[in-house]
Amino acid sequence: MIKLYGLPMSNYYSLAKALLIEKGAPFEEVKAPPTQEESNLVRTPMGKMPSIEVDGHYLSESLAIASFLEGAYPEPRLLPTDPFAAAKVMELCCHITLDVELVARRCLPEAFFGQSVSDETKAATDTDLQRGMRAVNRLMVCAPYAAGAELTLADFYTFYTFGLSGGIVQKIFGRDLLDGYDNIRGLMARLAEHPSIARVEAEKAG
Ligand SMILES: N[C@@H](CCC(=O)N[C@@H](CS)C(=O)NCC(=O)O)C(=O)O
């Protein structure tokens, strides 16, 4: 039985949970806030969530967790068998995370934690986000899924990144991150109804 550590409020935790459900992997959730305590750092060396425990061994980072699950539970596949097609999915995941999520997160302290970020940070975030969105959109297929005809790991990164990033952009800049990106907006709506994602969101709300 896999243990999933973290809190449902985390989009990365939710992503890992949706992947576990998608793969049909038996798991249990263990509430573990992000801390710098040794008991947490042994599981996740930056103290972040999520992490998982498999047969007494710990693994952090959502991409590493996804990689483990893909190997341990090959069906349903979330990466194409063709190596180049699989790498294209990973490329999309990287750009979504690095060029949208991590950029938007610069303003997370002000958007959701009552702190403030400088006007310079906001201006740079706005500029960099627009560039990141254009980059991601170049790779997005959205026909009907992020990377093409099949559901892949990129869909899970899409749903959980654009959910959080969109919330930050709305709060800080008062605009919709997906304005001009109706393809991604449509995909988000489809993914919200995908059973594993819908279950994670329902359990979070409940
Ligand atoms: N790159 C990590 C990011 C994980 C992450 O940033 N988790 C956030 C919650 S969504 C966290 O634990 N933040 C607390 C902290 O930064 O100390 C992953 O993909 O798993």
Q: Where are the domains of the chain?
A: 2-72, 83-194
Q: Is the CB of 14 under 6 A from ligand 1?
A: no
Q: Which pLDDT score is estimated for 204?
A: 93
Q: What does the pLDDT read at residue 76?
A: 98
Is the shortest distance between the CB of 160 and ligand 1 below 6 Å? no
**163 CB within 6 A, ligand 1:** no
Domain 83-194 in the same topology as domain 2-72:
no
Class of domain 2-72: alpha beta
Pocket mutation for ligand 1, best pick of 48, 160, 161 (most atoms within 8 Å of C-beta): 48
Q: Please indicate whether residue 11, judged by its CB atom, sits closer than 6 Å to ligand 1.
A: yes
Burial zone of 22 (CB within 10 Å; 0-12 exposed, 13-18 middle, 19+ buried): buried
Cβ count near 59 (within 10 Å): 18
pLDDT of residue 198: 98
Concatenate the DSSP letters of all residues of 96-138 into one string.
Answer: HIIIIIHHHGGGHHHHHSS----HHHHHHHHHHHHHHHHHHHH
Strand (E) or helix (H) holding 150: none
Rounded distance from Cα 164 to ligand 1 centre (Å): 12
pTM confidence score: 0.97
Q: What is the dihedral of CA 188, 72, 65, 86, to 10 degrees?
A: -60
Quote the pLDDT of residue 70. 98
Residues 23, 48 contacting (CB under 8 angstroms)? no
pLDDT for the residue 148: 97
Nearest ligand 1 atom, CA 65? 20
Other CB atoms within 10 A of residue 136 CB: 25
10 CA → ligand 1 middle, Å: 8
User: Is the CB of residue 44 below 6 angstroms from any atom belonging to ligand 1?
Assistant: no
Determine the pLDDT at residue 206.
82
**Would you write out the chain's pLDDT as a tens digit for each of its 206 residues?**
999 999 999 999 999 999 999 999 999 999 999 999 999 999 999 999 999 999 999 999 999 999 999 999 999 999 999 999 999 999 999 999 999 999 999 999 999 999 999 999 999 999 999 999 999 999 999 999 999 999 999 999 999 999 999 999 999 999 999 999 999 999 999 999 999 999 999 999 88
CA–CA separation, 29 vs 109, rounded Å?
26
Q: Which CATH architecture has domain 83-194?
A: Up-down Bundle (1.20)
Q: For ligand 1, is residue 34 a contact (CB within 6 Å)?
A: yes
